[in-house]
Structure 1
Amino acid sequence: MTFSQLRTFARVAKLGSLRAAAASLGVSEPAVSTAIASLRTELGDPLFTRTPMGITLTPGGRALAAHAEEIIGLAEDTRRDVKHASSHERQLRVLATAAFAEHAAGRLFDLFGKWVSSDAVDVIVESADDIATLLRERAYDLALGARPGLANSSGLELVPFFKYQRVVVASTRHPLASSTGPIPLDKLLSVRWFAGPGGFEPLTEEGRWFGRLSALPDVIELTSETDALSAVAGGEGVMLALGHVAASRITGVAGHPTDADRTPDLVRLAVADTPISGLWWATTLDGGRATDAARIVQRLVTTAEATTAIVSPTGSRGLSRRGNKFHVALWS
């Protein structure tokens, strides 16, 4: 078997479709079929069966998918080590889910720079759905933010490090701001909702909260949660905001304002099953396969110093846009 065949099969297993794998790899569908056929012949296993819903991996196919991800990851590590062999600096590659990248990554890695001054860091936003695969393929050393699904957590070490809350907020001038009791679902569904890019990860508590609604509201996704909060403050709708991020702008619960000496522009709405509590996680490969720098970050995020940095209202968030990816711009 060849490295190309393994990469092809890993992509088919991940995407559940030969056509999708071909598009992702930039090759023709017949090329994907040929690679799969060669693996089937060599291994004596059909690897997957076709169903009306797509493909289903055989036990042998699941084993091959896991090994293929590992081999691809080792190859990427080898390329990187050879490229940087003459340098003492190794790049730390961090996957962050969107909310963590926007609200915490810059400040956290400013702090990390005081711990480990020699490592360059690149933080890129990806979906929580892809964490397990991207870590196994060694595309990233560490993932921060939402956790991967339980079904995909084998071979990973997950450390919870920050408990947050999401609250429903609206402008003090919004019609719902005068509500004195729990807001009925039909009223919530009748107004516009705002969110950052990608909305809310299905694997987060806030994503599951949305999934439990009898109907989904109209959600407008902006380029950042900061922009979404500004739109809400302008009276354009409501959103599930991070409590510690919006706290200084919130007057209190709708119908029960507090802190009259301030001039806040938001109010927290009384909505069933809110505030929503969630956790951010630091995820690496287990069994001693994580890099030293990734282990340092995994230890750092559990410290009181890191928590203080994350909730600080000042300091660099460090979020910038490059093409279709978000990067955290750190020190030079």
Structure 2
Amino acid sequence: MAQVAVDVLPAAPARPATRRGAGRGDAIFAGLCRAAAVLVLVLLGAIIVELFLGGLPAFRAFGAAFLASTEWDPVGDLYGAGVPIYGTLVTAVLALLLAVPVAFGIAFFLTELAPAWMRGPVGTAIELLAAVPSIIFGMWGFFVIVPLMAGTVQPAIIDTLGEAPLIGDFFAGPPFGTGLFTAALILAIMVLPFIAATMRDVFLQVPGVFKESAYGLGATRWEVMRRVVLPYTRVSVVGGIMLGLGRALGETMAVTFVIGNANRIATSLFGPGNTIASLVALEFGESASGSLKLASLLALGFILFVISFAVLALSRWLLRARTGA
């Protein structure tokens, strides 16, 4: 009896039972992520509005002159933001001028020159430096750096650069040890690990074939860094520098210990001064609720936020213009 062959078609795969549940989970996860992003914007907006409303009495009382006035007279109830704005900008810019070259040198050494056994310990030490509390930097600066500046560094600079034409006024004055330059030096040490760690990490992300190709063409290490690594990592490097600048602009206690806390604009970098953060830290506890002094301090906080936002926006604009995006 002949047997009839019957082709059996493979059964269609069963739909996963959890597909509908997985879709619902994806929707929930996306909603939570969206809510987290919106929460950040809401918190940021709330801080801005609160600072602006709190400082509104000061803006109304002094007008636009509040930004340039150097007055800070609690007895006469006269306040101005000129001195702390000047001190904030000068110390932050000086800190970056001191920190960025050193941070670049550290990152270049760790990624291109250091032996393998040294990269781990040095990199860890740089990262641990970022974990030191700011008040520790302030105490160290006050008890170690200030006496060193007053006894050795400032007298030597005053006797040399202080007598030079054109730039002499920037290094003149008595060697007290405290002042804008000392505060900038402490800030440079504080922001150094952030910038150096960022540069090191982004330098390591450059594809090895890019560098090997440059070496194959006879390029030196510096030429590879300048023509290959830096162009490839430019955006991330600038982002790390801006991270350090944000830390420098808002630092409080370390600056308060060493800047001198004088409400006047000093032409010399060795002269005492104030920053927005240090002035708020010193004066906030002595301000009565609803007073014009408290409103002036809140207005200073709003100005500091605007300065930070303006610096970040400018850096993004420069990067976009440079890359043609």
Q: TM-score, structure 1 length as denominator?
A: 0.21
Greater relative contact order structure (CA < 8 Å, 6+ sep): 2
Higher relative helix content: 2
Q: TM-score, structure 2 length as denominator?
A: 0.22
Decide which structure has the larger Cα Rg and report it: 2
